[in-house]
Amino acid sequence: MTWLSDITDGVQRLVVGGVQTLSPWNLFSSTVRIGVTGLSRAGKTAFLTSAASLLLARTQPRFALAPLGAGDVPRFDQARHLAALAGDPPRWPERTDSVSMLALTAQVDQSPLPSRTVRLEFLDYPGEWLLDLPLLTLSYPAWSAAVLARLEAPSMAPFTREFLAFAHGLPAKAPPDESLARAGTELYRAMLVRLRDAGFSYLQPGRHLMPAPGPEPPWIFFFPARGQGPFASLLAKRYDAYVDSVRRSLASPLFAEVDRLVVLADVLSALHAGAAAFADTREALAAAAGALRWRFSWADALGSLLEWRMPPKVIGRVAFVATKSDHVAERQRGNLAALMRNLAQVPGDGVATAHFAAASVRCTEDFVWTLEGRPVSAVRGRVLGQHVLTRSYPGEVPDQPPDTSFWAHPFLALPQFEPMRLADGGRLGVPNIGMDAVLNFLLQDVL
């Protein structure tokens, strides 16, 4: 090995890896920002807690939690989340209600060159907010038309009746009345909550379900409506203010800078929620993926050259992960990964992708259960708050998007299991299924 080949090797690793702030310093330091995305309850916080525990438990290279400098994104509270999992009894991290960031650094040996500092930045945020990203490219009338069309599908009627009666009853020339805006928003929010409880995911705007911390600004009171009268233009103005706020607080500072992506999906729960909710989850994932930056245009590239800055980052590597795979036995996890591959693809090419079935926080062990005289591969674990082991066999996981015959037999509910007890407070890493494969795919070229 010569110096030169070491250097070209290093440059190649960085370029291939999609780390775009090219400078001589990249040979000795690089930052990789990884967005952990997923719809609400997909398992993002558990994934991040587990991933960090596994990276921190490695000896080669040795990682440490890093300070966040002068940025304004709050710190991801790794210690608190890990302490919850390590508790007696173990607890799950709480629902996420704001954005946070976890930073880790390591010195990577690249002898004979001096070692390189690698900084990994992971983002966590409430899953509900992911679906605010597609709003950035939609006007209020276009958004309203798309949402109302989805809500008017006959299969939605049990959830949408009250809100639609209100929306359809709005007079075309309604005045820009505050109490009308609030009444409509309350009905719309209540409907979103009912849909979420029924397993639906394509629910916008995200802050109607998970409000941002602090007092509610006046522009939060809007909902989708047709028409062009004074009332509709009040709602449109509020929608624009909402989108502006998403751009300022979520999209520009966070997602614009991401160069790798983990897309988590709780596919097993979607199978349980039924055909309509499954289709809806699939559409929601596609809409979120469509909103991310996969490539930059010539206009972007030229604009940034004129301003002497690097072109915006594009996402170069994506791991699609079906989460909570410990709800099914090993024999079914191959199908789960194959199903994920059939559900989620990247728009366009030039992006390295891989599909996985994983459990960030393993709760169960596999065992053979004899059901009606026949052995099935099942799992067993402790259900939250109970002492005995509970056996579970939700059903066969299809390796393709399910057809009508699949929906004829219900895919059973997944019990909420208690995490396995952690050895040594989690310092050796959280017990999991398949996390090493995901982390290797994401990071092998930078480590």
Ligand X SMILES: Nc1nc2c(ncn2[C@@H]2O[C@H](COP(=O)(O)OP(=O)(O)OP(=O)(O)O)[C@@H](O)[C@H]2O)c(=O)[nH]1
Question: Where does this chain bind ligand X (CB under 6 A)?
Answer: 38, 40-46, 92-93, 95-96, 126-127, 323-324, 326-327, 359-361, 363, 416-417
Cβ 130 to ligand X shortest distance, Å: 8
Element (H, E) at 408: helix 404-408
Cβ 168 to ligand X shortest distance, Å: 32
Residue 324's binding partner out of Mg ion, ligand X, none, with CB under 5 to 8 Å set by partner kind: ligand X
CA distance readout (Å), 36 to 42, 78, 124, 127, 299: 10, 15, 6, 10, 28
Cβ 47 to Mg ion shortest distance, Å: 9
| 96 versus 204: smaller Cβ distance to Mg ion | 96
Stretch of 44-52, 154-162, 279-287, 396-404 contacting Mg ion, by CB under 5 A: 44-52
Residue 40's binding partner out of Mg ion, ligand X, none, with CB under 5 to 8 Å set by partner kind: ligand X
| 43 versus 429: smaller Cβ distance to ligand X | 43
| 75 versus 237: smaller Cβ distance to ligand X | 75
Residue 359's binding partner out of Mg ion, ligand X, none, with CB under 5 to 8 Å set by partner kind: ligand X
Pairing relationship of beta strands 29-38 and 113-124 according to DSSP bridges: parallel
Cβ 328 to Mg ion shortest distance, Å: 23
Report d(CA 134, CA 266) in Å as an integer.
Answer: 21
- x/- map, 75-114, Mg ion, by CB under 5 A: ---------------------x------------------
| 45 versus 392: smaller Cβ distance to Mg ion | 45
Confirm or reject binding of residue 45 to Mg ion (CB under 5 A): yes
Helix, strand and coil percent figures for the chain, each rounded to 5 = 45, 20, 40
CB atoms closer than 10 angstroms to residue 36: 25
Cβ 263 to ligand X shortest distance, Å: 12
Site residues (CB under 5 A) for Mg ion, limited to 237-276: none
| 95 versus 331: smaller Cβ distance to ligand X | 95
Residues 6+ apart with CB under 8 A from 204: 131, 132, 134, 135, 143, 147
CB 140 within 8 A of CB 239: yes
Residue 332's binding partner out of ligand X, Mg ion, none, with CB under 5 to 8 Å set by partner kind: none
CB 79 within 8 A of CB 133: no
Cβ 129 to ligand X shortest distance, Å: 8
Site residues (CB under 5 A) for Mg ion, limited to 190-209: none
DSSP helix/strand/coil, 276: helix
Confirm or reject binding of residue 325 to Mg ion (CB under 5 A): no
DSSP helix/strand/coil, 55: helix
Q: What is the biggest distance separating any 2 CA atoms in the chain, rounded to whole angstroms?
A: 77
- Give, in degrees to the nearest 5, the angle at Cα 291 between 289 and 295: 90
CB 44 within 8 A of CB 102: no
Q: Which residues bind Mg ion (CB under 5 A)?
A: 44-45, 96
